[in-house]
A = this chain, B = another copy of it.
Amino acid sequence: MSRIKKIGVLTSGGDAPGMNAAIRAVVRTAIYNNLEVVGVKQGYEGLIHGDFMPMQSYDVSNIIQKGGTILCSARSQEFRSVEGRKKAHEQMLAAKIDALVVIGGDGTFSGARIFTQEYDIPVVGIPGTIDNDLYGTDYTIGYDTALNTVIDAVDKIRDTASAHNRLFFIEVMGRDAGFLALRSGIATGAEAILIPERQTHTKDLEKYLAKGYKGHKNSGIVIVAEGDKSGGAYTIAKEIEKKHPEYDIRVSILGHMQRGGAPSAFDRVTASTLGVAAVDALLDDQKSIMVGMVHGEVTHVPFNKTIKNKKKVKESLVSINDILSI
């Protein structure tokens, strides 16, 4: 049997819809297993400053459907230092917190890994980021919601693009990965999708435009990943504008709304599943791992692996769009 009596839960890094659903699952699974549970405010910042709140089942009532994170999030400079992590450890000792569940991305897990190496504290991570760029899990919490937010916005833009026969360059988030761009591009029937993982796309785009989609389509949508090598939607739009003055071009940067909103059904179920799995993993004496979903089943991935490896976009989806945008 596990010696863990009290766990802490925190959200760190960029927030993502579904984090609250994950918090709820962690809190209730802990209580179900007779553990105490405290919420840590503002990620590692709160760990350092002892910003803890004991949580009961009803503290997470009616939050499964809410965007953002009730624990707030932050990026902590201090936790990157030996001193910062020392303080955090002292705060945990003082509050008798035996283990941690950290919800976030890559940076969150890097911090957790060092911390767990230095102090031998069991930490389990839950992947929460709209970017879906974590190795070892098919989906991260927030990705599906962000996809739906993007397609809802692009559908609206398609309305006005069609009314005016315009070509839109729409920039979506995703840091240096194209997951959000690729799937939202397919889902909106984008005429082209520019992602960092693909080299030749600017040429492809020009070829495509040169063939003149205007002959048979009444609008054009190009989805541009923010991390794309072309330099983003404004830059590529300007280039194309020069070469193709025949197009009436507009740019839209979807921005931070992609991070908010009520989580989708998919994200809520994933967050609930992973929240349960994270506490189960701690009770099974696991540590320094991320719980993820692969092929619909929970997996345990060492932080080490998820940090060092790069998840790849699905090549087959790239080809699908080439076919469907004709």
- Asked whether, in the complex, the Cβ of A253 is within 8 Å of the Cβ of B256, the reply is no
Return A14 CB to nearest CB of chain B, in Å. Answer: 8
Most buried by B among A165, A188, A254, A256: A256
The contact of A155 among B14, B25, B165, B262, by CB within 8 Å, is B262
Return A254 CB to nearest CB of chain B, in Å. Answer: 8
Kindly list 8 other residue pairs between chains A and B, CB separation below 8 angstroms, not including A58-B216, A155-B261, A160-B260.
Answer: A11-B163, A29-B324, A32-B326, A64-B188, A148-B264, A157-B257, A252-B256, A276-B320
Q: How many copies does the complex hold?
A: 4
In the bound complex, CA of A16 to CA of B68 (Å):
25
The contact of A266 among B216, B266, B296, by CB within 8 Å, is B266
Most buried by B among A66, A168, A187: A187
Main secondary structure of the interface of A (DSSP, over half): helix
Q: Which residue of B lies closest to A184 (CB)?
A: B265
Residues of B near A272 (CB, < 8 A) are: 186-187, 320, 324
Residues of B near A153 (CB, < 8 A) are: 153, 257
Return A310 CB to nearest CB of chain B, in Å. Answer: 18
The total of chain A residues at the interface (CB under 8 A) is: 86
Within 8 A of B (CB), among A276-311: 276, 295-296
Taking the complex as formed, is A317 at the interface, i.e. its CB lies under 8 A from any CB of chain B? yes
